[in-house]
Amino acid sequence: MVYLLPLFTVLIWGGNSIINKLAAETIEPSAMSFYRWFTAMLLLTPFCLPTVLRQWPTIKPYLTKLAFLAMLGMVLNQSLGYYAGLTTTASNMSLITSLVPLLSVFISVPLLRKRISALSIVGGIRFVAPIHVGNLVEVSAKVIYTGTSSMHIAIDVQASDPKELKNQLTTHCIVIMVAVDEQGKPTPIPEWVPQTAEDIALRQSAIRLMNMRKEIGEEMEAHVKYLK
């Protein structure tokens, strides 16, 4: 039974996107968000209030941060989800939501001065199709962008049944690697110059992703600096 709990969590979040879509044209997104959290407050307050009062001296110094967290993680996040139901599909909403762990890793770099570990990068890989036991797996990689000391590498993973030998794409991701010298410090690398139309398109895609991560980091830092 314990192993079913993670499955229930996924089903609840998946169902949440479907309900958002179904209710989007029936109930105003702002009203839906208000009624949701107002109802939650009425139901949970009798159970949570005694504990909050006992631990008030501990909670009080963090009220500003907790309020900011509630505004982003609860109110704004869910309200935007309800508004998204007016313009896109439940599948798109779920796919975008699944990027939250990966975006958290990248945003933590400028805000928390965290280094991205190899395990964090691997954990951010999303599979579009399963790899079954016994499948033949083919991994291909190519450089799509180089910076002063960094290389952006596009990786495709394909799998096939040995009886059919028909490859199916299971995942595509971009991994960023940094060249270092013997002291572990970044060292310059030769510039990679795209030769084909596909190479040029991939390079432009890598640049757009870099700019997007930079903009997200700057926006989050502008909000969070007031809480420090």
Q: 186-196, pLDDT tens digit by residue?
A: 888 898 888 89
| Residue 112, CA distances (Å) to 109, 220, 228 in order | 6, 11, 11
73-97 residue pLDDT tens: 777 877 887 888 888 887 777 777 7
- Which tops the pLDDT comparison, 111 or 35? 35
Environment class of residue 159 by beta-carbon count within 10 Å: exposed (0-12), middle (13-18) or buried (19+)?
buried
- Sheet with 136-146, strands from edge to edge, namely 136-146, 150-160, 168-178
What pLDDT, on a 0 to 100 scale, did the predictor assign at position 217?
66
User: Is the overall model pTM greater than 0.85, yes or no?
Assistant: no
224 pLDDT more than 60: no
What pLDDT, on a 0 to 100 scale, did the predictor assign at position 121?
57
120 pLDDT more than 60: no
State the average pLDDT over residues 201-221.
78
What pLDDT, on a 0 to 100 scale, did the predictor assign at position 180?
83
State the average pLDDT over residues 151-173.
86
135-146 residue pLDDT tens: 889 999 999 898
What pLDDT, on a 0 to 100 scale, did the predictor assign at position 45?
92
State the average pLDDT over residues 60-75.
86
What pLDDT, on a 0 to 100 scale, did the predictor assign at position 51?
92
Residue 132 per-residue DSSP state: -
- Which tops the pLDDT comparison, 27 or 127? 27
Sketch out the chain's domains with CATH numbers: 3-112 (no CATH), 118-227 (3.10.129.10)
Both tokens of 202, joined, read 């991939």
State the average pLDDT over residues 40-54.
91
